[in-house]
Structure 1
Amino acid sequence: MRVPALRFGPEGVERVEDSVVEEVPVALVYNGISHAVMLATPTDLEDFALGFSLSEGLIASPAELLEVEISATPAGIELQLRVTAERFQGFKATRRQLAGRTGCGLCGRESLEQAILPVPKVAETLAVPAEALTRAIAALPEVQGLHRQSGGVHAAGWAGIDGEIHLVREDVGRHNALDKLIGALRRQRIDPAAGFVLITSRASHELVHKAASAGIQLLAAVSAPTGMAVRNAEAAGLTLVGWLRGSGFSVYSRVDRITDPAA
């Protein structure tokens, strides 16, 4: 949307109109029972519904999500999700109701035991050339449509091992952007393990967990990882890259999975 602003610059002050990205409450309702409310950008919501359901372990496969109905309300957007009866019984007793802030990863967890879930192991078959990472990060700004308009969103992109970006999803929340990307990959029947994911944020534990849960073998972030993210990436067998900017980056786990032709 466009909003008026007063712009101060070296040549003086002027009235302008700026593009800003929207964030709205998005409620995820499973079989009629509210499970979570997240602040999100209201785009690619079917991808978000599927990706969130998979990365949170609420369903094990896309086939268990039978239907998604999107309803706009005065208070926000409701995603009415219908899952199989067997899967619904599995998480109904332990569901968590939460209000998810834009940058939130663990809000709504009720105990320390629930806060840090075990990270699943990933297959360790993907080797990526170093130049593919630098090629992908150089190309990412050109495919960030919302970011070019407003500058206020994160992106998660999926690239092949040659560094060509094939899919991007954006959101005000970095976790939401990755959930949308995971959902898009599964809906389009793209094998996440055939390439790698890059994100325009730091690499947190929650992002490593979501990536590993989706079978992603390499996660690259433009900023720093946390210590927990590094430890859990090692435990999962996931290659974790940070500070991916310009022509350089750092590898924090599974360094043997990055190939360097100059070596």
Structure 2
Amino acid sequence: MYSDQLVCPAHVPRGSPEGRVDAIAAMVTTRTAVQAPVERRTALFVNGQAWLTAQTTPHDLADWAVGRLCGEGLIAGPEEIAHLAVDEAGPCVHAVLPRVRTPAPPAPVAPGPRVAEAQLLRWMQEMLAQAPLYRATGGMHVAMAVRADSGEQIVREDIGRHQAVDKVLGAARLAGWPPAQVVVLTSGRISAEMCARVARFGAPVCASRTAATDEAWALATRLGMDLVGYVRTAASLIVYTTGNRVARRIEP
């Protein structure tokens, strides 16, 4: 993960808020024209030293950096970042941290809101409806953070399922959302690593359109999270672990 030999690779245009069409590359195969998602090696520098690289879709990189730094436990929140700069010619992100925390295991999550299964299904559909790159290419992941108390939503896309979740968690941190009110949804499989990042954020519910791994299941159980999979239909939905937040219906 750590290296001091990383350099910023070739320039990648910044995504457009109108639909980020520059995150899709037009390609011609031997048979037909297709659209492919853009993938770039992206470096994150901490205090002038290369800390990690990841394959990303190079937009919303400030959100990604904040989400990753918080998710790995190096900072508790964006207020601990003295300076953050996105180098679009990289793509790279440079973060200045007056204090770098020693990562600790994620703590148990707060009680949080109660959520009906039908609401999770609606949110999953709303997430997919706000994912133009996912629809255009079929090769992207999408994640969404929802404030259960207000209904506000943040949606981000990336070629990597972890990066998409990092982006929504970072954006929610930057927006100052109360973690205990946040529900996280993803199009991708929930791994133990993703579960830990969501837990460090403090979101008590994490739901996927697909599955969760056994280690994610075990970690969520220890942390008191509600982990939900196959959020496609009422029949397919699986509540792997429960902190009694997700219910078939919520009585008034």
TM-score higher than 0.5: yes
Residue 157 of structure 1: how far off its partner (Å): 0.5
- Any gaps of 5 or more consecutive residues in structure 2? 1-24
Residue 165 of structure 1: how far off its partner (Å): 6.4
Structure 2 vs 1, CA of residues 78 and 261 (structure 1 numbering), >3 Å: closer, same or farther? Answer: closer
Indicate which of 210, 215, 218 corresponds to 1:231.
218
Task: Give deviations 1:85-144, integer Å, cap 9, x for gaps.
Answer: xx13x45xx9xxxxxxxxxxxxxxxxxxxxxx7332100232111110111122222100
* 1:259 paired residue number: 247
Residue 215 of structure 1: how far off its partner (Å): 0.5
Letter in 1 for 2:63: D
Letter in 1 for 2:175: Q
* 1:198 paired residue number: 185
**Distance (whole Å) between structure 1 residues aligned to residue 229 and residue 250 of structure 2:** 21
- The DSSP-based 3-state class of the residue aligned with 2:37 is coil
Structure 2 vs 1, CA of residues 58 and 245 (structure 1 numbering), >3 Å: closer, same or farther? Answer: same
Task: Give deviations 1:13-72, integer Å, cap 9, x for gaps.
Answer: xx32x2211111111111111111111110100101111110011112211112122224
* 1:122 paired residue number: 109
User: Map of 1:103-114 to 2, 5 A cutoff?
Assistant: none
Q: Cα RMSD (Å) of the superposition?
A: 2.2
Residue 230 of structure 1: how far off its partner (Å): 0.8
* 2:133 paired residue number: 146
Task: Give deviations 1:155-203, integer Å, cap 9, x for gaps.
Answer: 1112243895611111111111111111100111222322311111111
- The DSSP-based 3-state class of the residue aligned with 2:177 is coil
Give the TM-score taking structure 1 as reference length.
0.79
**Distance (whole Å) between structure 1 residues aligned to residue 151 and residue 250 of structure 2:** 21
Structure 2 vs 1, CA of residues 70 and 160 (structure 1 numbering), >3 Å: closer, same or farther? Answer: closer
**Distance (whole Å) between structure 2 residues aligned to residue 212 and residue 243 of structure 1:** 20
Residue 79 of structure 1: how far off its partner (Å): 1.0
**Retained in 1: the 8 A contact 2:127–2:143?**
no
* 2:93 paired residue number: 79
* 2:11 paired residue number: none
Structure 2 vs 1, CA of residues 235 and 143 (structure 1 numbering), >3 Å: closer, same or farther? Answer: same
Query: What number of residue pairs does the alignment pair up?
Result: 226
- Any gaps of 5 or more consecutive residues in structure 1? 8-14, 95-116
Give the TM-score taking structure 2 as reference length.
0.83
| 1:31 matches 2:55 | no
Letter in 2 for 1:80: H
| 1:62 matches 2:78 | yes
Structure (1 or 2) with the larger CA radius of gyration: 1
**Retained in 2: the 8 A contact 1:120–1:209?**
no
Identity fraction in percent: 31
Structure 2 vs 1, CA of residues 261 and 31 (structure 1 numbering), >3 Å: closer, same or farther? Answer: closer
| 1:246 matches 2:236 | no
**Retained in 2: the 8 A contact 1:28–1:79?**
yes
**Retained in 2: the 8 A contact 1:135–1:164?**
no
Comparing both structures, which one devotes a greater share of its residues to strand?
Answer: 1
Letter in 2 for 1:219: C
Structure 2 vs 1, CA of residues 261 and 51 (structure 1 numbering), >3 Å: closer, same or farther? Answer: closer
